[in-house]
Amino acid sequence: MPRITRVFPVSRFPRKREEEDTMNPVRFACATLAVALLTGLTGCGSSVDFVRMDPTVYPKKNSNDPVEVFQGSVVRPHVVIGVATASREMKATTGSVSSYDAALYELKALARELGGDALVGLKPVYNEDTSDKPKVELTAKVVKFLEKEATISAH
């Protein structure tokens, strides 16, 4: 199961000004603890970032449900749930799962968690900068296919 390090939700309703200025101390302590735990858990050379674009919450898929992967665009009607990026530290492997495969697995697991059917526009970026550890980063849109195709009626 991928670890989501940052989630940026889309809000339908803006918060009132007075709600932004005051925060419950217990809520603040819980939020601080959650951030500290997430920061500690993501130190294993991998992370998944997600930016939600559709506020609709879809039912989760089973862990064995297929998630299609497209490097380009698709013509099948769909809704973009959001954009996900998985980052993995590149390691030399022989016979085991590569960093690319592990990042793709994390994206697919996130897509299932969000109720998505496919990853569209998959783009790999290999960062071999000498100042950081080499990483592979995969970015894709998580999409939900529409059940029925939309039709346009001519009047």
Does 3.30.110.70 match the CATH number of domain 4-145? Answer: yes
Domain boundaries, the chain: 4-145
How far is Cα 140 from Cα 123, in angstroms, rounded to an integer?
A: 6
For residue 20, the model assigns a pLDDT of 43
For 79-118, how does the pLDDT look when each residue is reduced to its tens digit (9 = 90+)? 999 999 999 887 766 667 788 899 999 999 999 999 999 9
Q: Is the pLDDT of residue 6 over 90?
A: no
Residue 150 clears pLDDT 90, i.e. is over it = no
Bridge-based pairing state of the strands 78-89 and 135-145: antiparallel
The whole-number pLDDT of residue 105 equals 94
pLDDT of residue 109: 96
pLDDT of residue 131: 61
**What was the pLDDT predicted at 125?**
84
- Phi/psi at 89 (nearest 5 deg)? -70, 130
d(CA 104, CA 89): 13
Nearest to 79 by CA among 62, 93, 96, 58: 58
Mean pLDDT (the chain) is 75
Does residue 142 have a pLDDT over 50? yes
E strand or H helix at 137, and its extent? strand 135-145
Q: Quote the CA–CA distance of 59 and 56 in Å, as a whole number.
A: 10
pLDDT, tens only, 115-130? 999 999 999 987 766 5
Percent share of the chain, pLDDT over 70: 59
* Phi, then psi, of 47 in degrees rounded to 5: -160, 160
pTM of the model: 0.63
Q: What is the DSSP string of 88-114?
A: EE----SSS--HHHHHHHHHHHHHHHH
Beta-bridge partners for 83:
51, 141
Q: Are the C-beta atoms of 82 and 50 separated by less than 8 Å? A: yes
